[in-house]
A and B are shown apart, each in its own frame.
Chain A
Amino acid sequence: MKPTDINDPNYFHKVVDCQWACPAHTPVPEYIRLIAEKRYTDAYMINWYSNVFPGILGRTCDRPCEPACRRGRIDEQPVAICRLKRVAADYKSDISKHLPIIPKKKNGKHIALIGAGPAALTVAADLLPLGYEITLFEKDGVAGGAMRTQIPRFRLPVEVLEEELSYVIDLGINCRFGEEITSMRDLLAEGFDAIFVGTGAPLGKHVELPGFEEARDNIHTGIEWLANIAFEHVSSIGKKVLVLGGGNTAMDCCRTSRRIGGEEVTVVVRSGFDEMKASAWEIEDAMNEDIPILNFHVPKRYICEDGKLVAMEFEKVRKEYDKNGKRLLIPTGEDPVILPCDDVLCAIGQENSLPWVEHDLGIEFDKSELPILNKRTFQSTHERVFFGGDAAFGPDNIISAVAHGHDVAVSIHLSCNEQDINNRPDPITSLASQKMGIHQWSYDNDISNDVRYIVPHAEKAKTLHDVNMEVELGFDEALALKETMRCLNCDVQTVFTDQLCIECDACVDVCPTDCITFTANGKESDLRSALLAPAKNQDQDIYVSGPLNTGRVMAKNEDLCLHCGLCAERCPTNAWDMRKYLFDTAKASA
């Protein structure tokens, strides 16, 4: 193999599994160390610049970082990254002086943002410091988008939402709330320098089966129903509730139902329990609230009596795979299952809705009515129009919407300066030695062996009676400190300088996870199997040095490295060094 090019910004970035997995590439280990130092405000600001809504995301993020966390590969569970982010938000002090300074003198460019959700607000946060004038249109009377309408208050208190929305809005956005845009043609005519569409995927899908029309008054789509709860248009539901669907919206629907009158709430899914799309922790929270989940039940019809919904009929199925490995649901032939119900909530998916974008403006759409976009720049086929968040590629999550927002801001900034928007700026990186003394590092390499700490919950008897009472209490400072010590500091990289190596094997002997070997160079598969414990995880690279004095090379498996620094401590010649790698995605305002 050729020597690894550690100057490639992605090489060490990939080693920081959590940051690599985060759509916004938040520097996770860096803020976790700051939390350990009780520097909550600094930890918060690192998050703020990366993901804009740390307090919201610290409660509601889909946490792609956690399944990626290296700790999960050497221990039973990953670090509770998401809940540590919330700690930074909960314990920070006043951040106003750390927010970006907005120039009084504007740069003359005027941008329109449509939809006050996470994507559009991210675009605003990135462009305002550069002197852009921003006008934000929102059909509702308040900002927040899906963060407000689709996430129940018992998961995200309204004060937390309002606080973080205001940090962005108060930077100086011209808000035109309660104003629904009905024509893109008219908007284009207003002469904005760029238009960003972040209107989400606001259409819920119904389950249309026999009996639907008759039962219609008691059938609701999940996201619209949740929005009605959020705006307090709805405050009760029948005693017996069926929730159709297995995603996070279904979990929010069933838990909300339990709090506003639902006594027997049941989630019913077509396929298997293990195929449910909802996050494992949300399923667990629902089950802890005495909500059964029935799997392999396919809905067949609504049953009404006297023009009112009384039950639903389901067919039991089992899973089989056909020759091509496709999953099939085969009826078991058992008697149909009748589940009595007063209300049905359909949470089987949601769709974009862009009827107000006329199709003759040069903005092209694909077969599924999604705009055709450049996946990197988010530019549509109209050079002044950009899409982001769920409006771009269909329903995803908040953190992806934020990541889109940062990219869109870069695109708009390049476009307004008449630069090639495909020529993206490089990320900002640094690699600095952490050596303080012979055996001292500026990071704490003495990681904790503890298992993951559980976030305390409020008393169930109370939370089930108050739809606005937050269930999770968050870590206190003591628990947070213990959890931070589980982080392996994967951003503190093992950097090898081949010219200094005397091939004494000290690093090989000390490495607790058998990452390092000195061997004859060869194909990647040879090097992967030459280690004391073979490097089978192909998703993780191996780090290969140039030839050493004996002609061998050093090959290091990055997969299970604990970043404990013992290789560098036991290295007599400093051929190994522990260097902190900071990676910041390029932002318009950076």
Chain B
Amino acid sequence: MHPYLPHTQADIKAMLERCGVGSLDELYSCVPGELRLGRPYALPAQKSEPELARYFKTDIGDANKEMICFAGAGWYNHYCPAAVASLMSRSEFLTAYTPYQPEISQGTLQYIFEYQSMMCELTGMDVSNASMYDGATATAEAVVMAVNASKKRRRVLVSATLAPAVAQVVATYAAGARIILETIAEDDGVTSRKALEEMICAGDVAAVVVASPNYYGILEDFDGFADLCHEHKALFIINSHATTLSVLRTPGEWGADIACGEAQSLGMPMNYGGPGLGYLCCKRALMRKLPGRIVGATTDAAGRRSFVLTLQAREQHIRRQKATSNICSNQGIMTLHIAIYLSLMGAKGLQRVNRMSADAAHALAGRMTATGKVTMKYPGKHFLNEFAVETVAPLTADDMLGALARNGILGGVKLTENSVLVAATEMCSPEDIDRYISILNSL
């Protein structure tokens, strides 16, 4: 038969007899004839393992070209210790279902508990769920959660400096939930405080969403934002990409009620955009409004420390349409990735990653502007590992990125016809930067 289909013809015959039917087809007597497919699938024939490996190597792998990465836009090329992938591939973890049976799922439950603890340390919040799909959906769910918590308020203010893809997912979820989204204008690359004040004073605001580092890589100053939100009974939501949380003033320190964002930057392979992981953390007062799985500690009948899924009354399998969300999973094995990665890196490793990334980005920015081919789009603004440049005419963003790409370098992400978002990480060597600059110089 096939390596994954164990039955022999003799097995099938004996089993059909036990069922009291004469053929496999007879088991489907309830399926009306006109609905039957009645023909083989028009799909490729079976490939053996060597054939499959050859196909994935030549047709797929060889048609992909890894580039020296200076792109970010929410997705970063960071180092990951080899032990992470090795441990994640353990099939006791990888092939398990959601931990509904705590007696035989302590492995999964314990690493989720460790993950929740670590994300609370990074964000400065009290509570974390077991993760969301990605940073964009985590932010969208944060908005829905805030509106539900506010009961009758429908307006949500979102900073124009949020990444466009994240803003679009938020807008999609808001449309479904009949939330009125309004954009807070940006002022020189950061959220306009004046615009925010005016908008929030108009009332009925459930939440304010800002980002730091924002889409342009700028570290925003949210001094006074939390008070302003709370005076108007709005919740304050901060989106950050997770690596930066280890050095930046935390959402907790800014007075945020909800912290959310993408955690791919914690050493996950880029994998052409997925899987990543969305983290979602909040203050304790909002704990029961959190969507998704949550793991808690308790004791078993013998007094042993045990972990279980808890606060389940929020969830779809109990509350159905009144659930806090439809989510019934999490990013599973990616939460294990984070628990292992953060254990190995520790606070010092993360500091080093941020320091190296910021040093590389600042060195690159300085040398790029020194070529005279580009200028900083937002001069004077603080940034860590990502920044925006404007090309000096006649050079365009396409010219610049095209020339770099021809030399195997992903030079950034195009913002407009004449601006580019550039990121660096500890994976960029000084030689990589030299190459980048020499190509830019040649234009």
**A, B in one complex:** no
A→B interface (CB under 8 Å): none
